[in-house]
Structure 1
């Protein structure tokens, strides 16, 4: 297949537009030397930009490609991610987001370090680092597969170029650049996919009658527990994500944070409709009636690429290149967010929280920028070696669900939770999750639970059980240690985590900083003119 010159032209134009917008926002950011500006856009994000940025962050390349893949391979009933994340955003918008915004935190992990201490809180960041890298890799991999099919370009080249563009404007402008580009990227995603799916559905090779009810799919009786387990993962595993809270904490008021989260949940669900329809069209197509040159019917290893295949072989050339721009926009809108998320956590909760508690704003800005480059490079390397789209996407939520969801819930809503309970819960969930096997990490299961299948793996709802056990461990150990130290059963000198004797210096400094932020936020809210201001 010859190189798709029109496709290259469209993508180049798209990249130039995005880079220009990101650099423009970055120039505005350079006018200030405040770390709060690059972390949280000076907490001046209004409703519209918050809404669009939250939606664009969730609707990434893995989201649209993965939805098309799972619908084509297993039916619409297995497209759980859009519904799960929609419900999760509702829950996060009502309970978690406003509470964190009112507290004036800088990252999602500030309450951990405030309550558990700097060192224990830093340990809680590790799953987020891993999850963000997995998610970035899945996003860039989806983009690479799309461009390689539609434009006949080397997949590695596409991944590297896209990652570099995202890193450049994130490096320059932090959250402000990411938010501005998110608005444009979301428009590209909506226009591109909405234009493409009617052409795919009306293609002469598509026979929906021949597909019958297969497009719906089914859940075998022996798989119901696993099916529900995945819903738990997607709903609650989507709540403890720093990329979302970065926007929530940047909102001017808690009310803006709540409204933008809950409305973006609906938007995210709507954005899943076009790729789902494209997946149905790809499954219903007789590929012999297209110009597709390879094996027909599609081999199983081709299903992860069903979206770009449909765009390439079942849509007119102008439509396919517009669809390609949509996929590029979806990939970059999430890749920049996860990269900034990793850099923000490392800078605020590791570098400043553990080593340089009195670091200047200029120092923190440069640490964040260096970390943006490193995180982008790691995601790019993993993307080049990725073999599936939906798998890493699910695995990211897996880590958040079994480890961080019970931790975040306890630290925000369970008063008795402490560092001892948090650490025990962390290692209980981590060890049990590894013992149950991790296919993507090539870790075989040591524990084979009821319903285990050699072909399908663990069918028991093991993730939900591990999450519940972790929650129970946090509460029980916290209750036990609270009682033991406060009643004098254990001498104060054995309080190695400083949960009861005295709080460490780092945590006390963070408390003082946060109180300053809260006072600043009160002044900003008082002077706020309109909830719909952009930035």
Structure 2
């Protein structure tokens, strides 16, 4: 194997640039001495400005899998099935409309905070599982994509590329937290946009490429088979609403200077997602319009299905001059790192705050939390790197985790924000049923057979054509509501004795839970008090807790008054 030295030099220079920016941004992070502040590290002091915020919010979804996958789907199934750019853009719009303002206004630190405040620490820990798996598998998938890309263009061993890229992302993330992640996103997104747009004209004008406007409908636009209409809608809804309950998104929302700015960033980033997908769409159209016999490509033709995930690096390699392909390679590398560091940091933030601090060490110091977060960053990065090297079906695993985020987490997020009477009993029931119906639908990509065959089941391909993922999500949502309200009513009216409130979330609220919620800040306390209201909107008289433990006092309407002398405590 011969390594392309110019390409290797280009990659090294790019990595040095990213590392330099990450270390420069780390100076803002308060990770040592008397100023150690875990919230500052996790949310960059809630001081992310407009330009940096737009770039880092856009980079939430624009990664290596996003760029490579967009080009791949154009060649494989046509533009009509290129749902990700539009689906994720709409997810940012809906996230901004319905969730960004409420989450930022309450002053939460992670996406799991409202769940733990309302449903308890252990239920929040259970909800951490699909969130963690989604982030780990996503990181592993994009690191694997980078290794494959480098092996195509630079002839560099994919394992070496994966390890080096992971180590660099881990290093500046460990040192600078969200500051480093956000500022490197600016450089990385700029490299993606510039690198791909520079490469597109060379690929389109290659003599082996036919004009993409000729027979476009047959070559790369294609049409939707009516048989797959319901599946198509199911996939689009999954992208739109399953793209909301991710910590990588809410970390940007919660780091914004205000709730209004968090919404604006979401809307602008939605536009950015579509813009960043355009060069990848053009590469897909070019690949579908190329006579590969007239290129230096010497592999089997037509290109095998298992190699279509490399179609974008193949275009860079065989349709562009070397110096251009190396620029494009920098763009793909940037896309990978912009997503890898975000996912690793997001999973680690939730672990240090919502698992370690809330469940195991409620009195942990700021320095202790920061050290736990560093260990978690290293652990999540190591796990993702090992999976990227050893596991061959990472994309399939991530698809399944993305389904679980949609089916399990999205209805939970709706209820914890909008359904005031929802409680731990409904949350747990919805979690179990949603998970059951999703797994019962099967997953051919990882060999899980369908236990429930919904209407229109395709026996030939062993595939569900019915929108069973959306149905599973709705079952989970309906279950949370239909279990929460009757139990809340039964406990508050005395139908069920209070001793049966084993989860201590309706009438057996522990005094220390109230006090802990109050100490975490007035925003969070507002949500807690709302959850203690009875079915008539009054503070439930059955609740036994000491007003003296509260920072502020709760009146009969559930409004918190926070006298200056108590806040000073």
> TM-score, normalized by length of structure 1?
0.94
Q: Which residue of 1 aligns with 2:221?
A: 216
1:460 paired to 2:463: no
Q: How does 1:58-457 map to 2 (within 5 A)?
A: 58-207=61-210, 208=212, 209=214, 212-387=217-392, 391-392=396-397, 394-454=399-459, 455=461, 457=463
Q: Is the 8 A contact 2:388 2:394 kept in 1?
A: no
Deviation at 1:6, TM superposition (A): 1.1
Q: Which residue of 2 aligns with 1:15?
A: 15
Residues 353/479 of structure 1: CA separation in 2 closer, same or farther (3 Å cut): same
Residues 439/170 of structure 1: CA separation in 2 closer, same or farther (3 Å cut): farther
Q: Which residue of 1 aligns with 2:499?
A: 493
CA distance in structure 2 between the partners assigned to 1:192 and 1:369 by the alignment = 32
CA distance in structure 2 between the partners assigned to 1:25 and 1:392 by the alignment = 34
CA distance in structure 2 between the partners assigned to 1:76 and 1:391 by the alignment = 21
Pairwise CA RMSD of aligned residues? 1.7
CA distance in structure 1 between the partners assigned to 2:223 and 2:74 by the alignment = 11
Deviation at 1:304, TM superposition (A): 0.7
Once the two structures are overlaid, the 10-residue window that deviates more, 433-442 or 455-464, is 433-442
Deviation at 1:456, TM superposition (A): 5.2
Residues 91/314 of structure 1: CA separation in 2 closer, same or farther (3 Å cut): same
Deviation at 1:386, TM superposition (A): 4.7
Residues 365/491 of structure 1: CA separation in 2 closer, same or farther (3 Å cut): same
Q: Which residue of 1 aligns with 2:532?
A: none
CA distance in structure 1 between the partners assigned to 2:180 and 2:155 by the alignment = 31
Deviation at 1:297, TM superposition (A): 2.0
Q: Is the 8 A contact 1:25 1:173 kept in 2?
A: yes
Larger CA Rg, structure 1 vs 2: 2
Once the two structures are overlaid, the 10-residue window that deviates more, 280-289 or 501-510, is 501-510
Deviation at 1:212, TM superposition (A): 4.9
CA distance in structure 1 between the partners assigned to 2:354 and 2:447 by the alignment = 30
CA distance in structure 1 between the partners assigned to 2:151 and 2:519 by the alignment = 48
Q: Deviations over 1:323-362 (max 9, x none)?
A: 1000110000000000011101111111011011111000
Deviation at 1:25, TM superposition (A): 2.0
Q: Is the 8 A contact 1:66 1:390 kept in 2?
A: no
Deviation at 1:440, TM superposition (A): 4.1
CA distance in structure 2 between the partners assigned to 1:490 and 1:384 by the alignment = 54
1:503 paired to 2:506: no
Residues 378/389 of structure 1: CA separation in 2 closer, same or farther (3 Å cut): closer
Deviation at 1:393, TM superposition (A): 5.1
Q: Is the 8 A contact 1:118 1:507 kept in 2?
A: no
Residues 390/204 of structure 1: CA separation in 2 closer, same or farther (3 Å cut): farther
Structure 1 segments unaligned to the other structure (5+ residues): 520-535
Structure having greater relative contact order (Cα 8 Å, sep ≥ 6): 1
CA distance in structure 1 between the partners assigned to 2:511 and 2:524 by the alignment = 20
Q: Is the 8 A contact 2:104 2:259 kept in 1?
A: yes
Aligned length: 519
1:50 paired to 2:56: no
Q: Deviations over 1:490-514 (max 9, x none)?
A: 1111111111233346743542243
Once the two structures are overlaid, the 10-residue window that deviates more, 431-440 or 90-99, is 431-440
